[in-house]
Structures are given as C-alpha cells and as structure tokens.
Structure 1
C-alpha cells in the first residue's frame, strides 16, 4: 500500500524500472516496480543467494541485498512478466524504493502514511535483534524442537538461525501488529481514506502475463473467485515461530485474521473450519454404512479425458487412490454421497445407482467450482 500511496502522490510510477531508484541494479533494468508488486520480475530469492555468500556473524540489511545482487549479478529465473513466482526479494527492494522516494526509513514512512492515520497504535516495524527496544506485551514466536522436546525461540536452534542474521531486512516482513489493528486496516480498505477507489481496484485485479494468461495475484494480495464465499482477497505469512493469515470476503464484508506465535510440525490454520463458522455453516453429519453399502462403490472409473481413477474398499473403509498410491478416505454423508477427508477445500463424491448397479459418480469441489463426472468401468 505504501507504494500505491507514493504513486498517487506522483512520486513514482508502477512501470518505472527499478534501476531508476536503485541504480546499483542496472543489470536488472527491464524489471519494473509493477513486476515486483505482483511477483513477475523473476529475481532469485535473496535468502538463497546470501546463504552461502554473506558473513552471518553480521546482520544483513536491505543495503546488503542490493550490494550482493550488484556484485554477484545472479541470473533472473525468468524474463519479466513471462511467469509468476513469489519473491521476497521483490518486496525487500520495494521497501528500499519507498525509502529512496520518501526520504524516510521504511518504518517511519509506514507509520506516517498508514499506521498513524488509521490509529493502528500497536503496529510498527520492529527488528528486535538489529534494533532492539522494549515492547510491552510482545508475543515472541516459538518453534518446537523434536530433539529437545520443548518450545524454544528460533534464535536458539541451528536450523532457524536465519532469524538473527536476516533481522535487518525490511519489506518482506518485520511489520508487527495485532488483530484489532489489522481489522482497522481491513475497514480502511472499504473506504477511500488512504487511497482512491481506482487504486484499490488495481490492487485487487489479476494482471495478465505476456502470453495473456491471468495470475491470481494483485499488488500484495492473492485473489480468488470462490464458488461458495464469493470474491476473496487474502495473504498468509510465515517465519520461524509465526504463522499468519488475513482473508477478506469483499462481497460479504467478512474478514478472517489469525496470528499464531508457536509452531510445530502439526501447526496449521484451519481456514476451512473458520469460514464455515463465520457463515454459520453447520458441520457435516457423517453416517455409518454397512460393509455391502460401501464396498459396492469400489472399482475403476473413467473421466471425460480417459483418465482412470481407482476406488478401493479396505478394512471397512472406502478410499480414493491417487496416481502415486496415496489413499484418501471417503466418508459417508448419505448412502450415495461421500466426502474426501484431509483435503481442502472440501471435495465430495456423489454416486448414481441404476438397477442396483453403480453407474458413475460426480466429483465436486464447490469452492473451486469444480464438477467432474466419472463413469464406472464394468
């Protein structure tokens, strides 16, 4: 949003080459601010580049990213706007452009342009190793150590030590906030307080690549046309000790915000369940079927493209078998309808029986607007 505000003030244009603001990166002069915003620039990941080249006894900053890329000139992964690939490098460079154009530090500009106007009093850019300060009620992020059988700060584990040497980098992280403050930001996005309606439309519009294919990502937001919940704009985040998500249901004026500060191998954000709670969708009631009522659905089915899908009945359970042999339980909702378990969004199988024989099933994934018919092979 900070880039959008600067654009509206006439300080920059989305189609400016990044080398206009970061001349050290003249080797990447065909990459634009727009490419960085929607992850179509092709720059390699700075963490991977610096992992083997940077002195980790120091704390890296955005200037170190720029100097590393200027010196090593790592090859782009693809030509700009020919492909989409998420790039933390791009957003770190956007922060540097914000600093260059505004004449302020990244944190100060966000405070003045966004946090202060929206009264986001508990939101700030914070680098607790690079620029430590006391923060009341700060939620430290913890990771679980399987070997030590306890939660620790990621600073104390070799495999998550990057949180220390990368703590000086801003743009792809380091904004600390609360659920209440993020809700204030969400509310502001429905009004024209910070940016115009036209700019918001551009933020939440899927652009085209050179081959005219659309990418479901605007300026910093994933965009989804959901078959159940309508238009969604969302973004998740993660760093050792933290998991986050904000999901805005713009047609229905509903928002999900989750902030987690402890992580183990089983940590996940139950977004499907949260959506159902938000819309008062009742949990599915499963039913128990007899053996003969389930095993008759086992067999091979063919879709319209000729692909064969196998269902098996094993130890009292009906399974869908994937091409690599993985099994997914089909759990009965009725005598002819089943839900595939451990798959999100929800997937359903509804069978058609004629003259006591299973003819076919219809596989649906309502949120993805997927409907497929598969015919039973006799």
Structure 2
C-alpha cells in the first residue's frame, strides 16, 4: 500500500471518529463529577483577619440587648434551633436550644446541620455569579443556549436569579395539573425541565413583565451550574463554596444517602413531618448548614473581591419596579429600600417544619442568622435586632 493510500485511510478514520463524537449528544442529565480539572472551578475565598476588633464593653452591652430580644421572642427556651449575631465577622451572640431529633433526644449544637430552606437560594446565586465572574457564563445569556430542552426562548440567567422569568412553580403544576406527574415518584430537577419541555406547562406570566417568586427558577439554576461545571450540584457547591470556606458542617441533601441521617423537621405541636415527592429537588432548597458556617459564607460574600465591581453592583439592584414600593428582589437576595436611602438585605426560608432567616447588612458589617427545625414564625422576627446596628425602622424587642 502506497503512502497516499495510507494517508487517505488515516484521514477517513480520523474523520469517522470526529463525526461519531459529534453525534454523541450529552443530555442535560449526563453530569459527571470528574470531567473538569479541580482548578477550573471559581472558588470562594475565606477571610483571615477580621477588623476592626470590637471592644469588650460594646460586645457586652449589645449582647445583653440581644439576649433580651431572644428571651422575649422564645420565652422559656421555646426555640428549637440556632441563632447568631455577628459584627465584623466577630460573634456577639449565639444560642442553641432544643432537640435536633425529639425521639433520640439529640441536642442542637453549633455543629448540627439544619435545613436552611430558601436561604439555599442565596448560596445557589453565589455559585452562579462566581461562574459569571469567571466568564464561564453570561448573566444575560438565554437559558436555552445552556439547557437545550428549555422551552422558553426569552428567559435569561438573570431572569431566573431575579424571579422575572414568568415560570410556573413546579410544586403547583406537578400537584394540581392532571396527568403531569405521579406523586408516588420523587421529582428531580431534570424531571422538572423535561416536564416543562414536554407537557405544555406554559408560563405563569409573560417573561420579564413582573416579579413572581418561583422555586422553579432556582431548580433550573442548579441544572445550569451542573451543565457549566460538568459536575453534580452537590459536588460543585462543595468545591466552589463549602470546602474553600471551611464550611465543614454544610452539605447538599442527597436523598438516598442522607434521608436517614439528617435532622428531621416538626410541626409546631412537635409532630414530625415526613418526606414527600418534592424532597429531591435542589437549588431552591435542600442545603443543610449551621449558623457558624453561614457566617463564614456571608463574610466571604461581602468581600470586595468576591465579584468584579461592575457585577457586584448588580446583585443589590432592585429588579421589580413595575409597582412602586419598598420591597424588592436582587440577584438571589431580598431587600427593603426605604426613601431615606437605607437598605435592608435578607432572605427567609420555609420548608416542611424548617424555618430560616439570613440578614446581611454590608454597611454595618453585620450578619444575623436564625435556623429552626420546628415550625416557628418567630424565626423571621430576628430582623428586629437590626436597629441595634443602624437606622432600620423595625419595631425593636431589644430594650430592657
């Protein structure tokens, strides 16, 4: 066989391999945990030296006022969870009360991971923004250029983050629409995407015409994280956020591995709430953490080098201005914008009996976090601590 024939055969073989590899389409659910080198993922960076140091007299005085608030809101140690207040990254007050598991009589401690419910959205948004910052993703990129099945061509990543996509809530259309889903089967993020693409679910409202808080947005963002990183959401969040920040007691719930070891949740009357078909969906919920770990996250998120300045500026912009008002939503964060110029940034959560509140006050460098695994709306009252640190017009419960 002469040289030219050998060359032609070799070219044909190479072309065949290329065509075969191109024809093998990766589906949105084909996520591997080993396809990217470790150093490719943009990681959070932890703080080292927190400044300025708080004086002992300031800490003592402020702690007394917060203790008064705590005792008034949870009389007789009726709380079942964890509460922390910090300034400049330094813990002023923390309290752990009640039982993680009522039947086992396990006490809640600083290392007890509790379900943070929709506060998970703040962490999911952080991961997405880190990918944007690293030019792995664009904020105004159309979702269907990433998730090929996604059927709504006008929806962008930004609209998922700020709840202006118009998507319907998966908890509603899988429960109320006939023939959409058999609730004997656990729902996954990929199932939600497939249903949107095949079941004529439609939109709740026309894309980008109004704000409508919707968990489906963050279930899709979790899939986007997986698609861009080629890692599972659980692995990506661990490598990008939890591990670099030393959040040793934080993890994404894995139904099969964790269902028998996680802290259960309870109704207000202490009756345990079991799992249901929605408990496998992540991104909008299903992160377990502690108040100390969330403090580490908040401090890293508040760093000036967390995001490029132009991108960071967009996080706390209110995107829901179709109706005049003080309440608004940014990129993964709720806010209240008063006419005085004062701004209050927070996110609350609720899932089964779990309630959560995350408050971050960048101007005062204050973090307020409350978590509970027993249904208790007092968790959301922790905003009343904010007036201790700035001009926040909430009725306060901190005075003796």
State TM-score, norm by structure 1.
Answer: 0.64
Q: Does 1:167 align with 2:279?
A: yes
Structure of greater relative contact order (alpha carbons < 8 Å, 6+ residues apart): 2
Q: What CA distance in whole angstroms lies between the structure 2 residues aligned with 1:112 and 1:193?
A: 18
- Given candidates 247, 264, 272, the residue that maps to 1:153 is 272
Name the SS for the 1:151 alignment partner.
coil
Can you give the 5+ residue segments of structure 2 that lack an aligned partner in the other structure? Answer: 1-125
Check 1:262–1:167 CA distance in 2 against 1; reply closer, same or farther (3 A cut): same
Higher helix share: 2
Residue 271 of structure 1 is matched in structure 2 by 382
Name the SS for the 2:237 alignment partner.
helix
Alignment of 1:171-210 (within 5 A): 171-192=283-304, 194-207=306-319
Q: How many residues align structurally?
A: 267
Q: What CA distance in whole angstroms lies between the structure 2 residues aligned with 1:280 and 1:206?
A: 21
Q: What CA distance in whole angstroms lies between the structure 1 residues aligned with 2:341 and 2:349?
A: 22
Answer yes or no: is the 8 Å Cα contact 1:81–1:210 preserved in 2: no
Alignment of 1:241-252 (within 5 A): 241-252=353-364
Q: What CA distance in whole angstroms lies between the structure 2 residues aligned with 1:42 and 1:12?
A: 21
Shift of 1:199: 2.5
Residue by residue, what CA displacement relative to the aligned partner does 1:203-250 show, whole Å, maximum 9, x if unpaired?
Answer: 112236689999721111012234789322110010011110111122
Shift of 1:55: 1.6
Residue 266 of structure 2 is matched in structure 1 by 142
Answer yes or no: is the 8 Å Cα contact 1:179–1:258 preserved in 2: yes
Shift of 1:33: 0.8
Higher strand share: 1
CA RMSD of the aligned region, Å?
2.8
Answer yes or no: is the 8 Å Cα contact 2:264–2:273 preserved in 1: no
Check 1:280–1:200 CA distance in 2 against 1; reply closer, same or farther (3 A cut): closer
Answer yes or no: is the 8 Å Cα contact 1:38–1:220 preserved in 2: yes
Check 1:273–1:32 CA distance in 2 against 1; reply closer, same or farther (3 A cut): closer
Can you give the 5+ residue segments of structure 1 that lack an aligned partner in the other structure? Answer: 145-149, 156-162, 282-343, 348-378
Alignment of 1:231-270 (within 5 A): 231-263=343-375, 267-270=378-381
Answer yes or no: is the 8 Å Cα contact 2:300–2:306 preserved in 1: yes
Q: Does 1:67 align with 2:191?
A: no
Answer yes or no: is the 8 Å Cα contact 1:38–1:217 preserved in 2: yes
Check 1:268–1:227 CA distance in 2 against 1; reply closer, same or farther (3 A cut): farther
Q: What CA distance in whole angstroms lies between the structure 1 residues aligned with 2:245 and 2:383?
A: 30
Residue 23 of structure 1 is matched in structure 2 by 148
Residue 158 of structure 1 is matched in structure 2 by none
Check 1:118–1:262 CA distance in 2 against 1; reply closer, same or farther (3 A cut): same
Check 1:345–1:154 CA distance in 2 against 1; reply closer, same or farther (3 A cut): same
Alignment of 1:250-329 (within 5 A): 250-263=362-375, 267-276=378-387, 278-279=388-389
Answer yes or no: is the 8 Å Cα contact 1:143–1:262 preserved in 2: yes
Alignment of 1:99-118 (within 5 A): 99-118=226-245
Q: What CA distance in whole angstroms lies between the structure 2 residues aligned with 1:169 and 1:224?
A: 29
* Structure of greater Rg: 1
Residue 300 of structure 1 is matched in structure 2 by none
Residue 258 of structure 2 is matched in structure 1 by 132
Shift of 1:2: 1.0
Name the SS for the 2:135 alignment partner.
coil
Residue 248 of structure 2 is matched in structure 1 by 121
